[in-house]
């Protein structure tokens, strides 16, 4: 993946994002981990596990959405000032194939950063035992930049 054309405002963006992700208990519960943090892009990995499945044994679409939401939110966060928080206003998910695989790679990217609103997107790829990737879901999300609220920082 080529670098995105974005300049971070906060030189410590990567540490800030990693620390915040570490406080998302929900990500720990589903087994998701942060693999990469760049200006405007974040990669999250989610291994297949029986405790996150739906009734057919695929990973639950809502769990895929949870990881994609974190990927979008933190992609937006990499471009924000140090004191800003981010809240998801809305997202849409298209589930294109059952979430079957050994693990899943979620790549979140900023499409359009903004002072108040950032538009982001993410794709989820299922990875099989041989390392082959298949697109299984996409997200398109609107993030709101929050400044000056102590309960919504980072």
Residues that bind a second copy (CB under 8 A): 20-21, 23-30, 50-56, 59-63, 65-70, 85, 87-98, 111-112, 114, 116-117, 119, 135, 138, 140, 142, 144, 151-154
Distance of CA 66 to the CA centre of its chain: 8
Question: Which C-beta is closer to a second copy: that of 4 or that of 144?
Answer: 144
CB of 153 to a second copy, least distance (A): 8
CB of 72 to a second copy, least distance (A): 10
**Which residues contact residue 50 at a Cβ distance below 8 angstroms, ignoring those fewer than 6 apart?**
none
CB of 139 to a second copy, least distance (A): 9
Q: Residues 99, 73, 138, 2: what is their CA dihedral angle, to the nearest 10 degrees?
A: -110
Question: Which C-beta is closer to a second copy: that of 33 or that of 138?
Answer: 138
Question: Which C-beta is closer to a second copy: that of 39 or that of 113?
Answer: 113
Give the SS3 label for residue 45: strand
Q: How far is CA 96 from CA 6, 67, 93, 99, in A?
A: 29, 16, 9, 9
CB of 133 to a second copy, least distance (A): 13
Question: Which C-beta is closer to a second copy: that of 39 or that of 67?
Answer: 67
Distance of CA 26 to the CA centre of its chain: 13
């Amino acid at each position: 993946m080529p670098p995105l054309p974005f300049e971070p405002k906060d030189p410590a963006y990567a540490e800030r994002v990693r620390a915040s992700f570490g406080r998302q208990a929900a990500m720990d519960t589903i087994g998701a981990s942060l693999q990469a943090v760049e200006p405007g892009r974040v990669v999250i990995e989610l291994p297949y596990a029986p405790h996150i499945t739906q009734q057919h044994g695929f990973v639950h679409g809502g769990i895929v959405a949870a990881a994609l939401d974190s990927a979008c939110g933190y992609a937006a966060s990499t471009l924000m000032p140090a004191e800003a928080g981010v809240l998801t206003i809305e997202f849409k998910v298209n589930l294109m194939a059952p979430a079957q695989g050994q693990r899943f790679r979620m790549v979140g990217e900023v499409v359009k950063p903004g002072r108040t609103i950032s538009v982001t997107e993410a794709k989820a790829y299922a990875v099989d035992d041989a390392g082959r990737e298949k697109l299984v879901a996409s997200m398109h999300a609107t993030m709101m930049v929050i400044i000056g609220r102590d309960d919504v920082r980072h």
